[in-house]
Copies of this chain bind each other. A is one copy, B any other.
Amino acid sequence: MAPRKKATSVPNSPVSMADLARELGVSMTTVSRALSDHFSIGPEMKLKVQKLAKKYNYQPNRMASALRKGQSKLLGIIVPYLEGRFFPKVVRGMETAASRAGYNVVICQSNEDLTHERRNIESLLSAQVAGILVSVSRTTDDFRHFEKVRGRGLPLVFFDRMMPGDALNAVVLDDREGGYLATRHLLAQGGRRVAHFGGLQQLTIYRNRYQGYRDALAEAGLPVEEELTYFGDNTEEAGAEAMRRWLALPNPPDAVFAAGDYAALGAMQEAERQGLVVPTDMAVGGFSNETFTPIAKPSITTVDQRCDEMGQAAVRLLLELIDAQAQGLDFASRQLVLRPELIIRESSQRLGRLSPTPEPLADAAVQ
């Protein structure tokens, strides 16, 4: 039996196509077609149906439609976490783009954990999402769950962090370019010995930022010195620890490019604790344009990741895939690469003047 409550207990019970059909004395087919603007329905009939639908505030039952079509109006999103600035901003862009196209987004967090990530995939498959957007967990070294998604013919788009391979759809930042721009800038500001705080090298994004660093050094004819590189988690403590090691060297660096803003901040603070002046004695550049970077004193030079664009682009790509698949077309896999933006602030500016008024925060919010 239908588990729905009696009409008495639920006054505004949802209206179904059958209700409209009955009231108009036509068949459900007609109603369905009129609502989806099918060509075979006469214009005056269409109008009648649509007016009644509006009157009763008819909302199609998406579950029923999804069941019938094997295709819902839901997009699944898997992010490693929802802290910091990056992922919330990307998700924000995704939700905006999705809702413009009449889709809703379902969010899952993998907590940087493979097991969670697998469960997230199952859960989204079970929810019959029309496609999945995923930024791969840091600890993921087995990618069969993603293969399974593709095996089911479900469109899949990676963003920011992708699995290895070529035949993938993805939207990523040109992290190498970001590392290159930041390092070149530090060199241009008179850096002679530029150190690098690198993220964990399992993640492509961090390998690429490191590569950009090396490219910039190579371009300047400088060697990559092992003692000037440190790899760790992007945290203040790790950044401070790296700086302590560097300052204990016989020939310490005079600039540092950190692959993350938290590490940059920690390194900067440690340098100041040890009596150095930033940027004069030690220029600092970070990565991610975290909310605090324009506020820190000195404000921190960093690389912006175009979060919103990334989210919107990923959704657009996914919707194209869904469309193509609905039409039975083959779709060559595509990788979009967004260009990062170097944001120069006080922590790296040795030459030229500092801007007299600090720039306003990008993220100002009312809450």
A170 interfacial contact with B, CB 8 Å: no
A82 interfacial contact with B, CB 8 Å: yes
Chain A 45-86 against B: per-residue CB contact (8 Å), 1 yes, 0 no?
000000000000001111110111111111000001111111
On chain B, the residues within 8 Å of A99 by CB distance are 108-109, 123
Q: What is the minimal beta-carbon distance from A121 to any residue of chain B, in angstroms? A: 10
A125 interfacial contact with B, CB 8 Å: yes
A312 interfacial contact with B, CB 8 Å: no
A199 interfacial contact with B, CB 8 Å: yes
Q: What is the minimal beta-carbon distance from A232 to any residue of chain B, in angstroms? A: 10
On chain B, the residues within 8 Å of A269 by CB distance are 358
A252 interfacial contact with B, CB 8 Å: no
A302 interfacial contact with B, CB 8 Å: no
On chain B, the residues within 8 Å of A290 by CB distance are 291
Q: Which of B62, B108, B125, B160 contacts A126 (CB 8 A)?
A: B62
| Chain A residues numbered 150-185 whose CB sits less than 8 Å from any CB in chain B | 151-153, 160
Interface size class of A (residues with CB under 8 A): 35 or more
Interface class of chain A by DSSP:
loop
On chain B, the residues within 8 Å of A128 by CB distance are 61-63
Q: What is the minimal beta-carbon distance from A225 to any residue of chain B, in angstroms? A: 25
A146 interfacial contact with B, CB 8 Å: no
On chain B, the residues within 8 Å of A152 by CB distance are 10, 12-14
Contact A365 B125, beta carbon cutoff 8 Å: no
Give bound CA distance, A62 to B129, whole Å. 10
Contact A138 B358, beta carbon cutoff 8 Å: no
Contact B127 A73, beta carbon cutoff 8 Å: yes
Q: What is the minimal beta-carbon distance from A11 to any residue of chain B, in angstroms? A: 6
Q: Which of B14, B151, B233, B262 contacts A11 (CB 8 A)?
A: B151
Contacts known (A71-B3, A234-B367, A290-B291); A59 close to B126, Cβ less than 8 A: yes
Contact A126 B60, beta carbon cutoff 8 Å: yes
Known: A3-B69, A82-B95, A295-B295. 7 other contacts (CB 8 A): A2-B70, A10-B152, A62-B126, A82-B89, A96-B109, A234-B364, A296-B297
A-B contact pairs, 30 of them (CB 8 A): A3-B69, A9-B153, A59-B125, A60-B126, A61-B126, A63-B66, A63-B67, A63-B127, A64-B67, A82-B91, A83-B89, A84-B365, A95-B107, A99-B108, A99-B123, A104-B124, A105-B107, A106-B106, A160-B367, A200-B366, A233-B366, A234-B366, A234-B367, A236-B364, A262-B365, A265-B295, A291-B292, A292-B296, A292-B361, A297-B297
